[in-house]
Amino acid sequence: MVGLVLVSHSRKLADTLIALIQQVSAATIPIARAAGVGEDHQDFGTDAMEIVEAIQSIYSDDGVLVLMDLGSALLSAEMALELLPEEMQTHIRLCSAPFVEGAIFAAVQISIGSDLDSVDQEARQSLLPKIDQLSASGKPIENLQPEIAPSPAPTSSNKVQAPQQMILTIMTKHGLHARPVAKLVQMIKTFDADVEVATLLPAEMTEAVEEIRIARGPVPAASLNRLASLGVVQGDRILVSAHGRMAKEALQAIRLLVAENFGEKDGEIESEAQPEFQQKPSEAGAIFSEKALTGIPVSEGIAIGPVFHYHQARIEIPQHDDVDPQTEWNSLLRAIALVQNNIVQRRRQVQSSLGEAKAAIFDAHLFMLEDVSLLERVRRQIFEQHSNAAAAWDREMKKAADSYRATPNLYLQQRAVDVEDVAMQVLSVLLGKTTTAFLTFPEPGVLIVEELTPTSIAQLDNSKIRGIVTVIGGPTSHSAILARVLGMPTITGIHPSVLMLPEGIIVAIDGFQGKMWIEPDVNVLNELHRRQTEWLTTREQLLASSHQPALTRDGRRVKIAANAGSELDAAMAVKNGAEAIGILRTEFLYLTRDSAPTEEEQKETLTRMGEIMGERPIYVRTLDVGGDKDIPYLHLPVEANPFLGVRSLRFSFKKPDIFLTQLRAILRAGVQANLRIMLPMISQLDDLIQAQRYVEQAHQALEQEGIPHRWPLEAAMMVETPSAALLTAAFAKHLDYFSIGTNDLTQYTLAAERGNPELTSYHDGLHPSVLYLIRKVVQDAHQFGKKTGVCGELAGDPTAVPILVGLGVDELSMNPGSIPRVKDIIRRLELPSVSRLAENALQAESAIDVRCMAEKFLSTL
């Protein structure tokens, strides 16, 4: 039986149509829909990858008929067809019939057993009864063509009628920037109408249409890039013209959207407001010269230097023209579809963690990829000039970026970076290449970027970066952790205005307090230089004794280890006096590459780590991905809340080949290095037992193959969930050591995502509830003679150290740079006093109260 797929911008429309079909069809038919985008598919739009899945879900050799409503649904359906195997494509038909009538007529034919050709023909002729009825009633019929069109052309006749027009004044803070333009494009695509927009000359004061004078345009309003290129700023007047069956309805909807200020509340507009930086840097600096911008401190230190922004390395574009146009076009459509899918996944993650306002920028990225006008220009280059797809795409996207830069709107000029980013994503997929160099600083400076991922952090050139400033992020995000490991002064959560600073302007950042100055005056610079010198001097003094054990004044030893994610980190750990690697983040082996590392590659790296550390133990944490750590080639699932999904050890269970490869490498490297296995994200006893079965399986395989490896190997687990903390006694029978990951433990205990800057007040591991769990882990582990460490950011927090020691923690593992100071603090402690402090902390009502009493305690040492 032929299958039917409905592709619509609206999930509600598709579901309602399916219900109608079920009422009129004579039998149950194979039917699927791909409709709507976003969480729960409640937003308007279409997704090529979802169309592929819908087709595959009902596919048979009898064929599948695909019906689309309008606009980008056609493009998405064409992309989906190109993504399917060739043997399937011959049995799939994209039908140009009207959406509702076509679906009803097709369903009836399918239910009586008609073949694909008959179903397609009947759907295409579904308007004929309506045409005959209207003709018989004597009513005029405009813009209807009873002939069966060979291909979809839903708006080809819209310009037969005279256009309807109106003049509107744009009052949004930054004119038609990315978000309102995306909303406008999205809305227009829901109407069967061709809409154009033009700007009017400022001198034109009348609203009489016959007297208007055009400044720029008109351009098709369905094209995000063309629309944004008008450079509409606050107070500009625009002329909106519409042709077609739903022209009046489209204009009414546009008028309402503009009247509602594109849905932007005053608070949201202010949150995106940018200082009007002028061409002279001194004018920009004057805005902040007396008052620093305040963000969130991430990594301590002072940094002063010129501003540099994130610039992704260029991919070399082939220039050959000996190509098959159809093959090139199909390859481009496939690349665009894959990038669209990646952006949709990213949007969902950002919406989940940072909210809809932050996620909305991805809508503009998606509409860039659906821009019919842009794609048509690329298509002409490929088919008429025989250009290869990469070169044609690159040329047109450069033109689009240049058009943004040419606008008088400073805010829109910055959006050229978005165009280049989207262009590079498609080129990367199309050419099968990735960029490994992100920064090309002519001199050491301060990197300012909207957001840094763990992957991009791992690719930074430390010699060229004095400090980092980000707009998005939190103090316990994985990027923040890596920045601390690298020892770079870093602040996050800073005002978005910094993204518009000209490159080369001098800024200063204070990683202790989360402050930033733009063009600081002499007084600010002198003070910062004084504090920087004082800080460096103190560090040198502490470093001189950091290779000695950390003993309290009454003789209790606390083992001090380092967190590491590279060979450089290991070397820094040794330099700063680490007694072990308390957690080796093996994700660094998987970053900045296109495929998972081989067993041999992992073994060699781990062996080199062992050479650096000597006899010091290394706790190798197995792959911990998911949440805010994404590695594209591992194809992590799209989840509504990735922090509660298939992450860490759960992912390893889903990919046993990757897990076993890593375990084999650890066991083999253990012959020459003092390695232990650390299992992350365990929440129940079954997780631990299953993981240990895999370890045993890797051992047995190596044994049978006669490959030397260490056996048995000491095993440890991370305590990152409340359930793991509460079940410590049950786990203790199966393990040698516990390591408390306070970052995740705090996140899950207080139900506050660690990377969400809106929830920073919930991210403090000194909250009494977290301290109760730490004490329980320590007490239950000690009952079984097992030691417990803390490896989260709390371990290196000077304020937290006395409390952790008072709770009985045996080991603290931190970024290497924190070791000298923490050892110095421990040497000034006495067990009775810190035990009392810990008990008082457990009785406190908030993390703030705990910090106050801990800071008061430290001031007495």
Q: Which pLDDT value is given to residue 206?
A: 44
- In the sheet that holds 164-169, the strands lie side by side as 164-169, 237-243, 194-200, 214-220
Same domain, 362 and 474: no
Helix (H) or strand (E) holding 68: strand 64-68
Which tokens hold the place of 721? 């969930």
Identify which of 814, 740, 799 has the alpha carbon closest to the alpha carbon of residue 766.
799
Q: Angle CA(716)–CA(718)–CA(722) in degrees, nearest 5? A: 135
Which tokens hold the place of 713? 């190997």
Domain that holds residue 608: 545-858
Q: Which pLDDT value is given to residue 653?
A: 93
Q: CB atoms < 10 A from the CB of 379, how many?
A: 18
DSSP string over 790-828: E-SGGGG-TTTHHHHHHTT--EEEE-GGGHHHHHHHHTT
Same domain, 263 and 296: no
Q: Is residue 141 part of a domain?
A: no
Same domain, 503 and 567: no
Q: Angle CA(765)–CA(509)–CA(562) in degrees, nearest 5? A: 45
Of 416, 431, 446, which closes a domain? 431
Its sign, for the CA torsion 33, 34, 35, 39, is: positive
Same domain, 647 and 735: yes
416 neighbors 404 (Cβ within 8 angstroms): yes
Torsion of CA 511, 513, 514, 517, to 10 degrees: -90
* Domain count across the chain: 5
Q: Which pLDDT value is given to residue 479?
A: 59
Q: Which pLDDT value is given to residue 360?
A: 63
| Nearest-10 crossing angle of helices 247-259, 178-188 | 150
320 is catalytic: no
Same domain, 698 and 771: yes
Identify which of 223, 170, 217 has the alpha carbon closest to the alpha carbon of residue 194.
223
626: left (phi over 0), alpha (psi -120 to 50) or beta: left
Per DSSP, helices labelled H in 580-684 are 599-613, 649-654, 656-669
Q: Is residue 142 part of a domain?
A: no
Q: What is the mean pLDDT of each run of 10 residues along the chain (861 residues)?
A: 91 88 76 82 78 89 90 77 82 89 86 85 77 52 37 40 78 73 77 85 51 75 74 82 86 85 56 32 38 83 88 72 84 85 69 55 75 84 89 88 70 66 84 59 83 61 82 64 72 79 89 90 90 85 92 97 88 93 91 82 95 96 78 68 82 93 97 96 95 97 96 95 96 95 94 75 92 98 97 92 98 92 96 97 95 94 87
Burial per residue of 9-26, b for 16 or more beta-carbon CB atoms within 10 angstroms, e otherwise:
bbbebbbebbeebeeebe
The alpha carbon of 425 is separated from its chain's Cα centroid by a whole number of angstroms, namely: 13
Q: d(Cα 316, Cα 322) in Å, to the nearest integer?
A: 18
269 class by beta-carbon count within 10 Å (0-12 exposed, 13-18 middle, 19+ buried): middle
Same domain, 490 and 619: no
Catalytic residue among 9, 699, 709, 791: 791
Same domain, 493 and 611: no
Q: Which pLDDT value is given to residue 454?
A: 53
| Amino acid identity, position 178 | A
Q: Is residue 596 part of a domain?
A: yes
Q: d(Cα 549, Cα 554) in Å, to the nearest integer?
A: 13
DSSP string over 238-269: EEEEEESTTHHHHHHHHHHHHHTGGG--HHHH
Q: Is residue 149 part of a domain?
A: no
Of 412, 431, 450, which closes a domain? 431
Same domain, 637 and 567: yes
Q: Is residue 264 part of a domain?
A: yes
Q: d(Cα 445, Cα 717) in Å, to the nearest integer?
A: 40
Q: Is residue 377 part of a domain?
A: yes
41 neighbors 15 (Cβ within 8 angstroms): no
553 neighbors 827 (Cβ within 8 angstroms): yes
CA distances from residue 698 to 292, 621, 657, 670 in whole angstroms, order as listed: 55, 16, 11, 13
Could you say which DSSP state residue 97 is in? S
SS3 103: helix
CA distances from residue 229 to 177, 232, 272 in whole angstroms, order as listed: 10, 8, 20
Torsion of CA 460, 461, 464, 469, to 10 degrees: 10
Which tokens hold the place of 706? 């006669």
CATH of the domain at 762: 3.20.20.60
791 is catalytic: yes
Same domain, 235 and 371: no
Could you say which DSSP state residue 462 is in? G
Same domain, 169 and 257: yes
CATH of the domain at 348: 1.10.274.10
Same domain, 289 and 366: no
Same domain, 404 and 465: no
Which tokens hold the place of 803? 């409390």
Identify which of 108, 133, 111 has the alpha carbon closest to the alpha carbon of residue 123.
108
Q: CB atoms < 10 A from the CB of 746, how many?
A: 26
Cis bond upstream, residue 218 (ω within 30): yes
Q: Is residue 34 part of a domain?
A: yes
Of 431, 454, 469, which closes a domain? 431
SS3 336: helix
Catalytic residue among 41, 174, 365, 478: 478
822: left (phi over 0), alpha (psi -120 to 50) or beta: alpha
CATH of the domain at 164: 3.30.1340.10
Which tokens hold the place of 277? 């930086």
CA distances from residue 170 to 222, 240, 579, 637, 690 in whole angstroms, order as listed: 18, 12, 63, 41, 60
SS3 676: strand
CATH of the domain at 75: 3.40.50.510
81 neighbors 68 (Cβ within 8 angstroms): no
361 class by beta-carbon count within 10 Å (0-12 exposed, 13-18 middle, 19+ buried): middle
CATH of the domain at 307: 3.50.30.10
SS3 589: helix
Helix (H) or strand (E) holding 716: strand 715-719
Q: Is residue 317 part of a domain?
A: no
Which three-class secondary structure string do you get for 344-383? HHHHHHHHHHHCHHHHCHHHHHHHHHCCHHHHHHHHHHHH
Phi, psi of 859 (to 5 degrees): -70, -15
